[in-house]
Copies of this chain bind each other. A is one copy, B any other.
Amino acid sequence: MDRFERQLQFIIEVDKLKTVLRRTLLTDGSRRENSAEHSWHIALMAPLLAEYACEPVDVGRVMRMLLVHDIVEIDAGDTFAYDANGNADKEARERRAADRLYGLLPEDQARDLREAWQEFEAAESAEARFAHALDRLQPLLLNLHHQGGTWRTHGITREQVLERMRPIETTCPGLWSFVVSSINDVWAKGRVRTLDDLDAMGAPPAETTGTDRT
């Protein structure tokens, strides 16, 4: 197979990321968000919020990392952040997914994209840590928009949410007081939606391959 055919095969294959559902609802509440549009949203946020990163970041690198960071979910599914069982074998599942998916590409590009994904996962570079902060902040904003969104449906505590948001504190300390006060506000007002509320608004039920990270 020639180089362009391999590139096309990968481009067509990753279309499937548009069908991997997260738990987060869109702002209009009409449906659950998928991982492709989530990736678009956080990549767009990168240049807007880079000024809050406590270390200088190469925004182009951050964007590229965010565009690929969820591709393994096509095979491995999205693993619920608070699911201990799901997270136990997450690494092995995602490694197999990366082998197959990036393996569709010509070798040099497979290596480049896989390295971007591994850099994100390792969360060691300034760019990767800022990318993680955005990956936490975006669903937080959607959940805040829905007065707590789907947190309570999964019995998540305020402390678990705060712990999940820690990368924002370490990478973008200037945003931390907003994060804490917003979360406190939701819990203080008891506004976290229940499963019944979500049923009433016609939100689709949870699926095994469609779990959310926040």
Residues of A within 8 A of B (CB): 4, 7-8, 10-12, 14-19, 26-28, 30, 33-34, 36-37, 39-41, 43-45, 47-49, 52, 59-60, 63-64, 67-68, 105, 109, 112, 138, 141-142, 145, 175, 178
Docked-complex contact A41 and B47, CB < 8 angstroms: no
The chain B residue with its CB closest to the CB of A58 is B60
Docked-complex contact B67 and A43, CB < 8 angstroms: yes
Contacts of A39 in B (CB 8 A): 40
Contacts of A64 in B (CB 8 A): 47, 60, 63
Contacts of A40 in B (CB 8 A): 17, 36-37, 39-40, 43, 67
Stoichiometry, as copies per complex, reads 2
In the complex, what distance in Å separates the CA atom of A17 from the CA atom of B40?
10
In the complex, what distance in Å separates the CA atom of A109 from the CA atom of B63?
17
Docked-complex contact B41 and A36, CB < 8 angstroms: yes
The chain B residue with its CB closest to the CB of A11 is B45
Docked-complex contact B4 and A48, CB < 8 angstroms: no
Docked-complex contact A142 and B15, CB < 8 angstroms: yes
Docked-complex contact A49 and B12, CB < 8 angstroms: no
Docked-complex contact A12 and B48, CB < 8 angstroms: no
Q: How far is the CB of A59 from chain B (nearest CB, A)?
A: 7
Partner of A19, one of B26, B43, B142, B145: B26
The chain B residue with its CB closest to the CB of A5 is B178
Contacts of A60 in B (CB 8 A): 59-60, 63-64
Q: How far is the CB of A2 from chain B (nearest CB, A)?
A: 10
Partner of A43, one of B43, B109, B141: B43
The chain B residue with its CB closest to the CB of A52 is B4
Contacts of A59 in B (CB 8 A): 60
